[in-house]
Amino acid sequence: MVSVARARELLSRLKDLRILVVGDVILDTYLYGDVERISPEAPVPVLEVRGEEFRLGGAGNVARNLSALGVETFLCGVVGRDEGGQILRQLLGQNGIKAFLVEDERPTTKKTRVVSRNQQLLRIDWESKERISGETLKRVIDVVLSLEVDAVVVSDYAKGVITPQLMKVIKEKGVFVSVDPRPQNKELYRGASLMTPNEKELRAMTGEGEIEELGKRLKEELALGTLVVTRGEKGMTLFSEEIRDFPARARKVYDVTGAGDTVIACLTALRLAGASWEECCELGNVCGGIVVGEFGTATVSPEKILRELERQT
């Protein structure tokens, strides 16, 4: 396990990094309330709303995690000309993220979760999955070309922002490129420095079989620098010079929403700070364990990571 002193050294370097997140920005909305009765109109529960909360989701949550780690964070995505887009701009500003949001005719991607007593009853999605094109695509590419950064994190939720043309431009920047993938866009990620699918996504991209064989096959097929497969309660498996499993560090699993966003943010930042891949995965597991113990999309800070390491050692 990484020592507290070593972790403190690595985390202290994060403030010197500049990282750009590109991808599908999502507005996560939570409607909280109580359910005391069933509707007389249909056999469904009636939620008496007590509150509403907005959070950064998708690429926004990756950026939020990077910013919470102390990284100078930039975000490029697409929003609609609507209230959701305005709320996202406010949230990004509040989290210290330098946002370059391109407006489009599509609605801002929004996921509303209806929650009672910390149990999700229903999720409602507003979205367009058509790939961006024309002036919208050009403006996103212009942002990517204009920024000098140490790495680009591609946060692909298959809502249309990540296109072949955009990926070509990102790869040509010549910086570290990490990808949180969607199986249907598999071919776009060829040559990435790091890819972090979960086990279900890995199988969707390769087929059935043992994880070790599937990971090796995907890494070779896409010529990836490094592959890290996140496996929930089993932790994660690293495919680099060698294949190695890292057990999960969660004390309890409360909500897995956004855990993948946290992991790719932590792995990317720590690698750029000089951590070995083994150190990245060990600390990535610590970070993932922290956020699944909280409700909704959550973040980790250097202070949280060090506290958790001290507790475990």
> Catalytic amino acids?
261
Indicate the angle between helix axes 59-68 and 83-94, nearest 10 degrees: 20
Are 226 and 244 in contact by the 8 Å Cβ rule? The answer is no
CA-nearest of 277, 193, 269, 188 to 237 is 277
**Residue 187 CA: distances (Å) to CA of 28, 144, 162, 182, 183:** 28, 20, 12, 10, 9
Taken in order 232, 238, 244, 249, the sign of the CA dihedral is negative
Spatial distance between the Cα atoms of 294 and 311, rounded to a whole number of angstroms: 17
How would you classify the pairing of strands 25-38 and 72-80? Answer: unpaired
Which tokens belong to 203? 């199988």
Q: What is the SS3 assignment for 32? A: strand
Eight-class DSSP state of 223? T
Residues in the chain: 313
